Structure 1
Amino acid sequence: MDINNLQRENIKNLHPYSTARDEYKGQASVYLDANENGYGSPLSHNYNRYPDPLQLDVKDAISKIKGVPIENTFLGNGSDEAIDLLFRAFCEPGIDNVIVLPPTYGMYQVSAQINNVEIRKVNLLPNFQLDLEGIAEVIDEHTKMIFICSPNNPTGNSIIRTDIETILANFQGLVVIDEAYINYAKQKTFISELTEYTNLVILQTFSKAWGLAGLRLGMAFAPRPVIDILNKVKPPYNINQATQDLALEALKNVGQVNDWIKQTVQERTLLSEALLELPMVKTVYPSDANFILVKVEDASKTYNALVDQGIIIRDRSKVALCEGCLRITIGTPEENNTLLQFLKTL
């Protein structure tokens, strides 16, 4: 598949903005090329200079952990920027369409609406797995992308791997696998399949296991032609210097992150078992994420009672296939215990 034929015509002809750092990539003692303030900044760090537009040091550190070459890595202002850029680069407004699989992450639909791209919804099956026949029926020549969240938000389950591979092998557009919660899953990432499929895009994030939601840093891994197109359409300096510096510091502490992941998975099991003992709880769905979906007798009443106690979860009861369900993030042992002790009083 030629990825270049998937991109919009105006993007094919786009000459991207050339930054001063694009034109000179070496090290120098005097920089008089970017109209920066040579005196420095009011802060103690080097924020008077523009950041590396391609974030090569951060990508190199990520490469050492994930085994993905720098040229197959894109960094965005959260995964949301990568999602938006995929729409802007590959979907012709008012003509093309994409497929989403509810219940799923809401930003796919929001980005589609912002970019005037038709959304085609194919609900997951009752077991929260892909409806392959339903997906095949709605694909046409203008279907550019299929978004698959695995582990899925808000249901928590991983999507059956062979089903995803079936779509990758047969769909002539981009298959975007959102792996925001992959660190908590038994199923392995699709990163190792990057060399097999020209239409595979994988989204990951620093907001969950890495604990850096406040930095807004997301990752996309894809074949080189897709990455080149994303780099062409992104803002020149989309990742600020402070974020790059802090991400580099965090990437030195992968051991700490792995410890938190293990503890979160242990707490997920303990919380799930404890919730099942409560009379108000009907179902605790299996989860591969750092949250669990729980069906209760009265979701709205339970949610509001928790809010009154200053305990905030998500009411997902109005989402497709999630009637009567609450989504509960796995907190610290203390936070989980506080939640359980109050639920026992209801």
Structure 2
Amino acid sequence: MTVNIQNLLRENIKKLTPYSSARDEFKGEASILLDANENAFGSPLPVNYNRYPDPLQVKLKEKVAQIKGVPTENIFIGNGSDEAIDLLLRAFCHPGVDNIIIVPPTYGMYEVSANINDVLIKRVPLTTEFQLDLDGLAEAIDERSKIIFICSPNNPTGNAIHREDIETLLNHFKGIVVVDEAYINFARQRSFTQELTEYNNLVILQTLSKAWGLAGLRIGMAFAVTDVIDVLNKIKPPYNINEASQALALQALENVDEINTWIKTTVAEREKLVKDLLAFPFVQYIYPSEANFILIKVVAPRELYKFLVDLGIIVRDRSSVILCEGCLRITIGTPTENQQLLKALQEYLPTSEQ
């Protein structure tokens, strides 16, 4: 099914004249730059940051395109994936009128961004197997439903969402389907990026924060048809990715082999940690994961969480999240960190059954 992207857009976004920066109006090489009111003397840092960065991150997109196999015109670079989430809501959802659909338990920023933008949230919980409830989604969709957010592999559950279920939505939903693949590098399931030519209502989110180890740089990516990418570029802040982040990300992207080694180590440690944790009597269940974390169901989760905090070991208490009652989320650390966690758990004796 082909979706009319222009019909989905807010009227004010269609009519918007984007801010034109100095670096938008001039492209190419020059010896004297007197157009952007920058400090011509440089900066007090070892590397000069006195010039504004490339507003469209052309070199970074070219490198991402080479690695991901996606044309540069289908790539948006954001200040983390959160910027793309916010921009999608601002572009396609009329405040107080339109709605989005989320499938909890899921990544919390979809809901936060919707609330900031005054967009109604419809919740269709995952099944007990943490898969999409297609009947529930069909019932929730109405003429004001603009975006469905799906995280796969899902956070906080760690599992991949069935591909055929996502394809069903793409084929029948007349809005945008966002597939958040923040953890795709750790999964057996292949990315949806190769399906961009089949679905013009598909937006894929990825990040350099997880497998690439660049969480501190805040580099997120959105992949979509040019009609969507052009809108995101139109409404984003003019210089949304700073020069240092662009340069460091480019440098990191030269090290694909090292990243692949880290991914293999993380997956192997994940499987080992699951096996070791199941030996503890207070661990009731560990959910299958295709991410760099695991969700474990335990006796007295809050008590165990506090026990670990007191030892300086921080995990995530997810016991109050729908369908995650009694659960902690544990990121896969280095082999040494994982062993320290196991050693600490050997000293733990639950005193309650909360």
TM-score computed with the length of structure 1 as normaliser? 0.99
Out of 216, 227, 230, which is 1:228 matched to?
A: 230
- Which of residues 129, 137, 142 is equivalent to 1:140? 142
Written as runs of structure 1 = structure 2, the 5 A alignment for 1:1-346 is 1-346=3-348
Q: Deviations over 1:199-240 (max 9, x none)?
A: 000000011000000001100000000000000000000000
Provide the rounded CA distance (Å) in 1 between the counterparts of 2:145 and 2:78.
24
Letter of the structure 2 residue corresponding to residue 288 of structure 1: E
Distance 1:324 1:2 in 2: 44
Unaligned runs of 5+ in 2: 349-354
* Counterpart Cα distance in 2 of 1:54 and 1:46: 20
Tell me how many residue pairs correspond in the alignment.
Answer: 346
The offset of 1:53, in angstroms, is 0.2
Task: Give the letter for the 2:319 counterpart.
Answer: S
Matches of 1:52 and 1:5, distance apart in 2: 31
SS of residue matched to 2:245: helix
Output the amino acid matched with 2:158: G
Deviation at 1:43, TM superposition (A): 1.1
Matches of 2:6 and 2:217 in 1, distance apart? 32
* Matched AA of 1:261: I
Between the aligned partners of 1:2 and 1:254, the Cα distance in structure 2 is 37
> Which secondary structure state, in structure 1, belongs to the residue aligned with residue 19 of structure 2?
coil
Distance in 2 of aligned mates of 1:6 and 1:231 = 17
SS in 2 for 1:159: coil
Deviations 1:31-79 (A, max 9, x none): 1111111111111223100000000000000011001111000001000
**Structure 1 runs, 4 residues or longer, greater than 2 Å off:** none
Identity %: 67
Q: Secondary structure at the match of 2:314?
A: coil
Counterpart of 2:137, as a letter, is I
- 1:90, 1:46 → 2: CA distance? 38
Deviations 1:127-151 (A, max 9, x none): 0000000000010010000000000
For 1:343, the aligned partner's letter is L
Report the Cα offset of residue 190 of structure 1. 0.1
Q: Which amino acid aligns with 1:129?
A: Q
Structure 2 letter corresponding to 1:228: D
Matched AA of 1:56: V
Letter in 1 for 2:298: V
Deviation for aligned residue 1:313: 0.1
- What is the TM-score of this pair, normalised by structure 2? 0.97
Structure 1 residue 4, shift from structure 2 partner: 1.3
* Alpha-carbon distance, 1:26 to partner: 1.1
CA RMSD of aligned residues (A): 0.5
Structure 2 counterpart of 1:254, one-letter code = V
